[in-house]
Structure 1
Amino acid sequence: MAAVIPADEIRIPGSRTLRFEGRDHGSGVSFFLVTNAPGKGPDLHRHPYSETWSVLEGEATIRIGDDTVVARAGDTAVVRPDVWHGFTNTGAGTLRMMCIHASDTMTQQMKSEENL
């Protein structure tokens, strides 16, 4: 059965970013469709599965473990399971990026919570 999930149903409250958890919709993947202003992005975190990013618009500086890369519109980056990562919009305009989680639910540990 085909289904369309309206953006407003998965929008993070107070944000332009969408959060889709596949299990809720019969899908084997989850994603964030990020829309961030310059200087914005998530703190270091990790997942027990891989994550793939596709930059749709703008520029992201991505930290993957000890490495830092810059990705621009059209670029794709991948992080393996259990590797600390995060990104920041380092461009002059809006960053739009699809963050695909290889899981039907999102599981995330923040680096700031590691020793709690």
Structure 2
Amino acid sequence: MDTLITRSDAREDGEEWTENYERLPGGAGVSLILESTTQEGVGPRLHSHPYAETFVIRRGWATFTLGAGPDAREVIGRSGQVLVVPAGTPHKFRTGPAGYEAVHIHANDHFVTEWLE
């Protein structure tokens, strides 16, 4: 059976929001973060997951830090690009001046996050 899930705040404009979806119905096997912001400099602190995380960037851009310490590198992800962060890779990001909209796909039915800072 298919399921349509509506935003918890009932807004329909798709702006300025973040929504987390875990244990989706229908055996999806993934969890999602839907994020839309016009703010610059927004994003999570350094963390990792024991599974891959895929970022589908729909609007704006963000600077992603991949890895930690002297092995860390920065990648700019822009609208229309997809970034796949492998399992166990420390990562964080900060949104660019025009903000950012993306779908973050966690390859697990619920979030498992190790916060590193």
* TM-score in terms of structure 2 length: 0.84
> Which position in structure 1 is the counterpart of 2:12?
none
Out of 40, 46, 56, the position equivalent to 1:44 is 46
Structure 1 stretches of 4+ moved >4 Å? none
Matched, 1:105 2:110: yes
1:1-80 pair list within 5 angstroms: 1-8=1-8, 16-21=17-22, 23-26=23-26, 27-36=28-37, 37-65=39-67, 66-80=72-86
RMSD: 1.9
* Higher normalized strand content (fraction of residues): 2
In the alignment of these two chains, the number of paired residues is: 107
| SS of aligned partner of 2:63 | strand
Q: Which runs of 5+ in 1 are unaligned?
A: 10-14
Q: Provide the rounded CA distance (Å) in 1 between the counterparts of 2:62 and 2:2.
A: 33
> Which position in structure 2 is the counterpart of 1:12?
none
Q: Provide the rounded CA distance (Å) in 2 between the counterparts of 1:42 and 1:35.
A: 14
- Decide whether the 8 Å contact of 2:55 with 2:102 is kept in 1: yes
CA offsets 1:9-37 (integer angstroms, 9 cap, x no match) = 7xxxxx7101011x242320111011232
Between the two proteins, what is the percent identity of the paired residues? 33
Larger deviation, residues 23-32 vs 57-66: 23-32
Shift of the 78–24 alpha-carbon distance from structure 1 to 2, 3 Å rule, reads closer
* Higher normalized helix content (fraction of residues): 1
